[in-house]
A and B are shown apart, each in its own frame.
Chain A
Amino acid sequence: MNILIADDELRLRKVVATFLRKSGIDVSEVSSGEQALEALKSKIPDVIVMDITMPGMDGLEACRKIKSNPLYENIPVLLLTATISPNIRAEGLKAGAASYLTKPFSQKDLLEHITNLKKS
């Protein structure tokens, strides 16, 4: 399984990526919505894990763009965010995200979410 993580919190992203790699997942990392869209051109992941608050194109906008592109619309997007507003959660799901996790999170939960999204 391979996933793409888009998060501008570099250290957290690295720690999460280490956990997932040690769990047998191939992980690519980027820092923004624009970079996530660019990365899709060279490799289609099984799941995208996307932060919402990022500089430039945020996670919601990137999710909308992914879901409106026939080439990428079937890739499940998991939003991972420190924003707890219920409105943001609703916006995320409306943008086409398949799942939503708030920081802080258990890495085992994250792994479970990713595995379930891959199965679906």
Chain B
Amino acid sequence: MKDELRKIHTYFSFHMRNCIAMIAASVTLLAYKMTNDEQQIYDDVTEASFLLDLFDAGMGICFDHTFGIEPIFFNDDYDVEAFVQHFLEQCKNIMSEREIELVLNINNSCVTKGNSHELRIIINLIVYEMILKSGKSLSISLNKNCLTLSADTSFEEPLIWGTIKDVCKKRGISFIFSDKGCSLEFVV
């Protein structure tokens, strides 16, 4: 358990520190009147704050799982495509700055049941990681009840994906990953 906790802390600490650094650095530009593009600063700070919230919530889910806290089952309807689209909208600046071409292939809607708040966080963490791992192109497809994300380059397994896989399994979701991508199969 000690190793698991260390991995979770290392992963989330890294991402949260980058978000805080972004906010602090942006505010410095404003304070010293070193920018003419206040809208860009506002957008960057908003995005960093959104991601900070995601990482904090994601860390909570991973810690709870590692401590053996059983998930509380909800019966909310959640629309997988809507979650993905909303997150991509939030991350459009990151995608455009990294010049990542997004290939979306949504064949159907996928509405399933569960704890929508928790599932949104898990999906967002996975999509964010795939954005970071993609070189020039990220493919996202939704076919029946399976969400598949593929990068155009191979990558090292993110530190928390083993934990996320176990978290998903407890919730009846299959999370499979390789060095090129991953898929989530939801219960409908």
Contacts and interface: CB of A to CB of B under 8 A. Distances in A.
A12 B25 CA distance: 7
B95 to A, nearest CB: 11
A61 to B, nearest CB: 14
B14 A82 contact: yes
Do most interface residues of chain B lie in helix, strand or loop, or is the interface mixed? Answer: helix
Contacts of B115: none
B38 to A, nearest CB: 13
B21 A104 contact: yes
Interface string B1-14: 00000000010011
A18 B34 contact: yes
A39 B93 CA distance: 26
A44 interface: no
Contacts, number: 62
Contact of B14 (A15, A22, A53, A107): A53
Contacts of B44: 11, 15
Interface residues of B, number: 24
A103 B29 contact: no
Interface residues of A, number: 22
Interface string B90-104: 000110011000000
B17 A103 contact: yes
Q: Among the interface residues A9, A107, A108, which one has the most CB atoms of the partner chain B within 10 A?
A: A107
B20 interface: yes
Contact of B18 (A18, A19, A22, A103): A103
A75 interface: no
A40 interface: no
Interface string B34-50: 11000000001000000
A18 B44 CA distance: 14
B25 A19 contact: yes
Contact of A104 (B20, B32, B98, B155): B20
B85 interface: no
A120 interface: no
B28 A82 contact: no
B24 interface: yes
A107 B25 contact: yes
Contacts of B22: 9, 11-12, 15
A85 interface: yes
A107 B21 CA distance: 10
A18 B17 contact: no
Interface of A: 9-12, 15-16, 18-19, 22, 53, 55, 82-85, 102-108
**3 closest cross-chain pairs (CB), A and B:** A103-B21, A82-B17, A104-B21
Given A55-B155, A104-B25, 16 more contacts: A9-B21, A11-B44, A11-B97, A12-B25, A16-B25, A18-B29, A82-B17, A82-B21, A83-B10, A102-B17, A103-B20, A104-B21, A104-B23, A104-B24, A106-B24, A108-B28
